[in-house]
Every structure is written in C-alpha cells, then in structure tokens.
Amino acid sequence: MPTLAIALGSIVLYLIAYHTYGKWLARKIFKLDPNAVVPSVALNDDKDFVPTDKSIIFGHHFTSIAGTGPIVGPALAVIWGWVPALLWVLFGSVLIGAVHDFGSLVVSMRNRGQTVGDIAGRVLTPRTRVLFLSILFMALTIVLAIFGLVIAAVFKEYPASIFPCLVQIPIAVAIGTLLHRRGVNILIPSLLALAVMYVTVYYGNQGFLHAFNHTLASWSIITWCVVLLIYSYVASVLPVWSLLQPRDYINSLQLLSALGLVVIGLVFAAINGGAPLPETGESMPLEIVAPAFNLHPQGAPFIFPFLFITIACGAISGFHCLVSSGTSSKQIKCETDAQFVGYGSMLTEGFLAVLVILACVAGLGLGSSNPDGSAGLLTGADAYAARYSSWGASSGLIAKVGAFVEGSANFLKALGLPGGFAVALMGVFVASFAATTLDTACRLQRYVVQELAATFVSRDETGKASSTGFNPFVWLTNKHGATIFAIIVAGLIAALPAPGKEWTIENAGKGGLILWPLFGVTNQLLGGLAFLVITFWMWRRNLPIWFVALPTVFMLILPAVGLSLQLFSSTGWIAKENWLLTGIGFATLALEAWMLFEAFIAFPKAKGVLEPALAPLPTPGIENEGGRSC
C-alpha cells in the first residue's frame, strides 16, 4: 500500500498547504483586496486584457504552466531514486514553486499586467530590464523551436491522439464565440466537447479516424513544426476569449478528468492488483519496484544540482513567471482569485508530478512492453530496470514519455478500460499539455519582443511610436510584427537537423535539440531572477522577505552550478568543443552575474523606497475608482 499512501498523503499535504501557507500569503503578505481595480478591468481591450472567471483562468494557467515538464522531468529524475524525486516535488512545489507563481502573478497585477521582465527595470535598475528580457527571449525561443518536435514525436508514437487534439480547435472557437457574444455558460458545452474528445479517442484506431490519424502521423517533423508555428501565430494574435481561454478550459477538464481516472485506477490497483496479464492471466500487485535511492546511476550526472534542474515544472519552473505575468495577470477579474489561480495551479501540477513518479516506479511494474521491441511483457523490477538501467537508456524523449504513458495506462487498465484506449488517452493527455504550452509560449514571446523593441522606439506625449525617420523596431512593437518575428526565429532554428546530422527532410525539424541542453538551466535561472524581482518589490514596501529571499538564493545558485558543470566538466561542452553551447553558456552566466551585481548595488538603497510610478492611464482617475471588479 505504500503507493496509495503516497498518492493520498500528497493530496492531504497540498490541501493543507493551500489553506494555511497559501492563505497566509494571500491575506497577510500580499493583502489581496476584492475591491481593487485589476488590470483586466482598468485596461480592458477585449483582446489581451479580459476580465475572466477564475475557473476559466485556472484552466488556462494550469494547462499552460504544465506542458510536458511535470511528465518528462520526474520520469527521468527517478533514476536517482524515487525518494529524492518525491521530496523535491512535494516540498519544492509548496515552499518554492507555488510562492514563485503566486508572487509573479500578484506583482504583475499590481503593475498593470506587465511581465516580470518589464517590472525588473523599475524595481531593480533600468538596465536589468533589458538583461531579463534577453534571457526570456532566449528561453522562449528554445520552447518554440523544440515543442513542435515534442508534439510530432508524441503524435508519431501515439497516432490515436492526433484527431482528439485537432478537434479541440474548432470546438473551442465555437464555445468562445457563444460565451463572449451570448453569455452562454462555458461548463456545459465544454463537457460536451470533452465527451466528443473521448469518443474520438475510443474510436481512434478504427475506420476513418484510424486512416486519418496514421496519415498525419506519417508527416515529417518539419511539416509538423511549420503547421504548429502557423497555428501558434494565429492563436497568439486572436483575442484570448476566442481560442486561448475556451481551448485551455476544455483541456483542463480533459486533463483533470484523466488525472481523476488515474487516481481511481491507482486505488483499484493498490487493492486488487493490476489488470490480468495476457500471457498468464495473473494480476501483478501494485508495489514500488524502483530503488529508494540510487545516487550514482550509470552515466548520469551527479544528483546535485541536476535533480533540481531535471524536475522543474513539478517543483519550480521559471517559465511559470511568464505565464503568471504574461497572460493570467491580464485576465484576473478579482485580486482574491490570484491564490486559486497562482498558488492552486502549482499545487495541482505538483500532484501531477507525484502521479508521474508513481506511474514510473510502480505502475510500470504491472506490465510494460520491452523497450528494445522484443515480444512479451516485463513486470516488476525488470520493467523498471529495462528503462532505467542507465542514463542513456532513460534519456530519450519517447523513453521518458513512454514510461509515464505505460505506467499510468496500467492504472486505467486496472479499472477494466481496454488497453488501447488507456494508452491513447494518456497520449492525448501528453500531447494536449504540449500544444497548450506551445501557443501560450508564442503569445508570451510576442509580449517579450514588443517590450524589447519598445526600448529602441521613441514615443510622443500620447504614448504612440514616433513616426520620425525609419526605425525597424517600430514594426516589432506591433503584435503581428512581433509574433511573425518570433515564429520565424524559432522556425529557422527548428528547421536545422539534430546535432551531428546532415540536412534532409527527415532530419529537419529537430534543430531545437541543438539548444535544448541550455533550457533546463535557463529555465531555473528565470525562476531565480523572478524571485529576485519579487524580493525587491516586497523589500521596497517593507514587507517580510525571508520566505522569498531563501528560494531566491537557492534558485540562483542551482543554475549557475549546473551551467558551470556543463561547461567545465571533463565531459562538458568545452571538452567536446561545442562552441555554440559554450558561447551561449558563458553569455548566460555573464548576464546572471551582471544582474546580480546590479541587484547587490541597489539592494541597500531600496528598502522602503518605492520604485518610480507608472505613467498615468489615458482615462484620468481610473486607478482611484472604487473597485467593483468582483
């Protein structure tokens, strides 16, 4: 019963954390005010700033921050043992990740929905704004360049997931239109959409759907990258109510219902064992088949700091500050909703990471296909060892995703669900997360490009870009120009072949793998820098900072140590003469050092001194009106 005890215990822990620590942050520290005028109301433009119900924002926020991160990271990190991975997820998400997401959301709301990068220029120093935005641009470029490959790889491995993911789009547009124009309640049509998705998953390997799915699964990686980047452009320039919000809400229902099925299946498997094995008819008992600790797995880097970098989204991820301050802060219609959206979403993601760990260290033992393609099922410790015998055996994308998909599908099969349907359902689960992250990342990159370009554009007294002379950066301050630039840069990188491969149509589309080794440390560095901004914002207001200062130091040391090891170790980038990663790695370390130097100089002078106020809004007095947004 240890597996069941861990699952239920984590639920209890997260509920207690939400109603104690989360509530303390909301009431005593951030002092959330239900009567405050929030950016979605003050700047309502019916496109990006749209007052929205907290359940819909939760759907967008949760699906956007999760992506494949809480699946891939924990599925790989259990190679160091399930205990270190579980402890980092549980305590990291409660004490660090949820505080980071919640704090980023609140600070952005109190600054008219600006991104954390823009806010850095006011609460630290003006130079840090450009430094921060430059790191954001690099991190988001890697996401856009790699996620087309991620989604295509999932589609090729699980073709039955293709049509359910695609059919979400027209359904979401229809629901968004009905909701916006007629005020229709979103829950009922979204549940109908969810039912349609499940039906298409069930019949995904039959008749027309089978032919359709396998035809699209045969597309090349580069074809999928182009299609997905075009889709991301459209999704990121449309008003949030037309596609982003309804699609993410449908996705959240699908993802939460799948999580519920996995939990119920885990309970059944813990009590009755797994589904009968086809070869023997025997049901394997549900037990943890992985070692509790394995500090020196074959070929793996040392556990510190790489465990804390490998498990990002399940514990703390810098990407989340972009979602909190880039999109969610522009949609919150009541300040008090921020705890549910910011703190609650991260705890939900932490629980997902717990289930991923249990699927990989216990669910796999109920029966797993042999990774080498040979016939027959592996069970117990053999099933785990086949995927985690060495770092190389578990490091591939499909190996990591496959471990979760098979392990969680075993929980569903314990409920009596057909094996093909269970695997396809988990494939849709993974692909839906990845697709949601892709279009949100594109919208976020648009904001970053616009903010960076605005640095080089002079403006008149009304705030409009000056038309004197030719300035190409003016085009990048436009949402279409910024988005086109973002997808072109990502597309050019993605179009390259994988490292060491010749360019062919089959190899093209994997270029994101060139920069992928940088993503883990860059992502965690963003988390540390976001904490730095939150710390300064609170320091200037004489608020207690100990609970953010400690995570700030930890999250700034982790990526610096990790990046240094990747650069200078005997098998690092310098030793391998990988000068591209070496150059970018040194540049990243230099940017971090520069920002820390700026922060060190500014910190003693900042206590109790508010940052420069934002320029007045076009409508006089709107910030002083009595709030009625709730």
pLDDT computed for residue 357 by the predictor: 97
Which pLDDT score, from 0 to 100, does residue 624 have?
38
Contact between 85 and 307 under an 8 Å Cβ cutoff? The reply is yes
Give me the phi and psi of 530, to 5 degrees please: -65, -40
pLDDT > 70 fraction of the chain, expressed in percent and rounded:
95
SS (H, E, C) 150-201: HHHHHHHHCHHHHHHHHHHHHHHHHHHHHHHHHCCCCHHHHHHHHHHHHHHH
- Would you give the DSSP letter of residue 342? I
What tokens were used for 99?
Answer: 């505080």
- 240 — pLDDT class (breaks 50, 70, 90): confident
Amino acid at 227: V
Residue 150 C-alpha from the chain's centroid: 13
Q: What is the pLDDT of residue 621?
A: 42
Average pLDDT over residues 582-590: 91
Q: What is the model's pTM?
A: 0.92
pLDDT the model gives residue 454: 86
Count CB atoms within 10 A of the CB of residue 531: 28
586: phi then psi, degrees, rounded to nearest 5: -65, -40
d(CA 518, CA 540): 33
DSSP 8-state secondary structure symbol assigned to residue 211: H
Quick one: residue 210, left, alpha or beta (phi over 0 = left, psi -120 to 50 = alpha)? alpha
CA dist list (Å): 451 to 116, 405, 519: 11, 39, 22
Residues 293 and 81: beta-carbon distance below 8 Å: yes
- Give the C-alpha separation, 586 to 575, whole Å: 14
Within 415-511, residue ranges assigned H as helices are 419-454, 473-476, 479-494
* Reported confidence tier of residue 153, pLDDT bands at 50, 70, 90: confident
- Is the model's pLDDT at 461 over the cut of 70? no
| CA-based radius of gyration for the chain | 24
Q: What is the per-residue DSSP string for 267-314?
A: HHHHHH-SPPPTTT-PPPP----S-S--SS-TTPPPHHHHHHHHS-TT
Residue 51 contacts residue 40 (beta carbons within 8 Å)? yes
pLDDT of residue 463: 54
Give the Cα separation of 515 and 490 in Å (integer). 11
Q: What is the pLDDT of residue 172?
A: 87
Cis ω before 305 (30° cut-off from 0): yes
Q: Which has the closest alpha carbon to 66: 403, 410, 441?
A: 441
Q: What is the pLDDT of residues 88-137, one digit of tens each?
A: 999 999 999 999 999 999 999 999 999 898 899 999 988 888 888 888 89
| Helices of type H across 540-578 | 546-568
Neighbouring CB atoms inside 10 A of 237's CB total 17
Q: How far apart are CA 259 and CA 247, in angstroms?
A: 18
Q: With 70 as the cut, is the pLDDT of residue 626 above it?
A: no
256-265, 393-402, 453-462, range with greatest mean pLDDT: 256-265
Closest by alpha carbon to 320, among 62, 535, 592, 54? 62
Sign of the C-alpha dihedral, residues 140, 143, 145, 148?
negative
With contact defined as beta carbons under 8 Å apart, do 499 and 514 qualify? yes
pLDDT in the model for residue 560: 94
User: What proportion of the chain, given as a percentage, has pLDDT over 90?
Assistant: 53
Burial of 381-407, coded b for 16+ CB within 10 Å and e otherwise, reads eebbbbbbeeeebbeebebbbbbbbbb
| pLDDT score at 622 | 44
pLDDT at residue 617, as a whole number? 73
User: Quick one: average pLDDT of 437-458?
Assistant: 87
Quick check: 85 and 70 in contact, CB under 8 A?
no
Q: Name the DSSP letter for residue 377.
A: E
What average pLDDT does the segment 47-68 reach?
90
Cα–Cα distances (Å) from 201 to 61, 164, 261, in that order, read 25, 6, 15
CA angle 134–138–142, rounded 5-degree value: 165
Q: In this structure, what token pair is assigned to residue 139? A: 């991190």
Give the least confident one: 238-242, 538-542, 548-552, 616-620: 616-620
In this structure, what token pair is assigned to residue 237? 């320039």
Collect all residues with Cβ–Cβ distance below 8 Å to 157 and sequence separation of at least 6.
398, 401, 402, 427
Q: How far apart are CA 606 and CA 604, in angstroms?
A: 6
**Quick one: which of 10, 425, 8, 400 has its CA closest to 258?**
425
**CA proximity to 236, closest of 479, 31, 571:** 479
Dihedral sign from CA coordinates of 485, 490, 495, 499: positive
522 closest CA partner among 616, 588, 621:
588
Six token digits for residue 250: 């449908």
Lowest mean per-residue pLDDT among 121-130, 180-189, 266-275, 601-610? 180-189
pLDDT band at 470 (very low <50, low <70, confident <90, very high): low
Is the predicted pLDDT of residue 552 greater than 70, yes or no? yes
Question: 3-state DSSP call for residue 92?
Answer: helix
pLDDT at site 395: 67
Banded pLDDT at 625 (limits 50, 70, 90): very low
Q: Measure the CA dihedral 101/104/110/116, to 10°.
A: -150
pLDDT of residue 186 exceeding 90:
no
- Give the lowest-confidence range in 302-311, 321-330, 469-478, 507-516: 469-478
Of 19-28, 311-320, 355-364, 399-408, the least confident = 399-408
Average pLDDT (538-548) is 94
Q: What pLDDT is attached to residue 377? A: 84
State the alpha helices, DSSP H only, in 508-545: 512-539
Amino acid at 555: M
Residues 406-436: tens digit of each pLDDT: 999 999 999 999 988 898 899 888 888 788 8
Which structure tokens are listed for 454? 């605005």
Q: What does the pLDDT read at residue 540?
A: 96
- In angstroms, rounded to a whole number, what is the distance separating the alpha carbons of residues 114 and 325? 6
Give the whole-angstrom CA distance, residue 62 versus residue 74. 17
Q: Three-state SS for 332?
A: strand
pLDDT tens sequence across 7-39: 999 999 999 999 999 999 999 999 999 999 999
The alpha carbon torsion through 336, 342, 343, 347 (nearest 10 deg) reads 140
SS3 612: coil
Higher pLDDT, 504 or 555: 555
CA 199/CA 197 separation, integer angstroms: 5
